[in-house]
Amino acid sequence: MKHFMKLNTLIIAVAAITFALASCNKDEMEPPIISFKTGAGYTSDDITIAAGSSVLIGIEASKAEAEGEEEDVLSHFNISLSVNGGASTSVYDADMTAAQEEEYSYDYNAAASTTVGEVDTYTFTITNRDGLTGQVSLTVTSN
């Protein structure tokens, strides 16, 4: 009988631990959110413009969790450029400060190539502390 009571106690303890672990709030591993700024002065879609002209491209980014949660804060921002489908190169790179970990905004002045017909693809990437990324991109074609 004493052996049965020890076994019963062990089963109850294992069940309690299993329940406690199952009910823990697990990180959903959600990527950060990023979008283009829209409105007067901003380019948020693919565009064809005169060779040598410039365009203003802005982004807004935020972590996926509710405000105040610190699990997947923003950690890094990068802008890369690919010319005519070639390899991408970084044109802007920044680590987030503590003040930028929940929301980040950036405006980038892109210049269209002076070569008519060149297609420049700009990719904007925001990364969180877990290494998950959100991306948006657009092309600027010189006319």
Query: DSSP characters for 60-111?
Result: EEE-SSPTT--TT-EEEEEEEEEETT--EEEEEEEEPPGGGSSEEEEEEEEE
From its phi and psi, is residue 51 left (phi > 0), alpha (psi between -120 and 50) or beta? beta
pLDDT level of residue 20 (50, 70, 90 thresholds): very low
Is this prediction's pTM over 0.85?
no
pLDDT for residue 71: 74
pLDDT of residue 84 exceeding 90: yes
Task: Kindly indicate the confidence band of residue 36, based on its pLDDT and cuts at 50, 70 and 90.
Answer: very high
Instruction: Give domain limits for the chain.
Output: 30-142
Alpha-carbon distance of 109 to 86, in angstroms, equals 21
* Cα 76 to Cα 102: distance, rounded to the nearest angstrom: 12
Does the structural domain 30-142 have CATH classification 2.60.40.10? yes
- For residue 65, which of 94, 34, 99, 29 has the smallest C-alpha distance? 29
Dist. CA 123–CA 129, nearest whole Å: 20
Question: What would the mean pLDDT of 31-52 be, rounded to a whole number?
Answer: 96
Which distant-in-sequence residues (6+ apart) come within 8 Å of 66 by Cβ?
none
For residues 91-99, average pLDDT: 96
Out of 26-35, 37-46, 105-114, 118-127, which region has the weakest mean confidence (pLDDT)?
Answer: 26-35
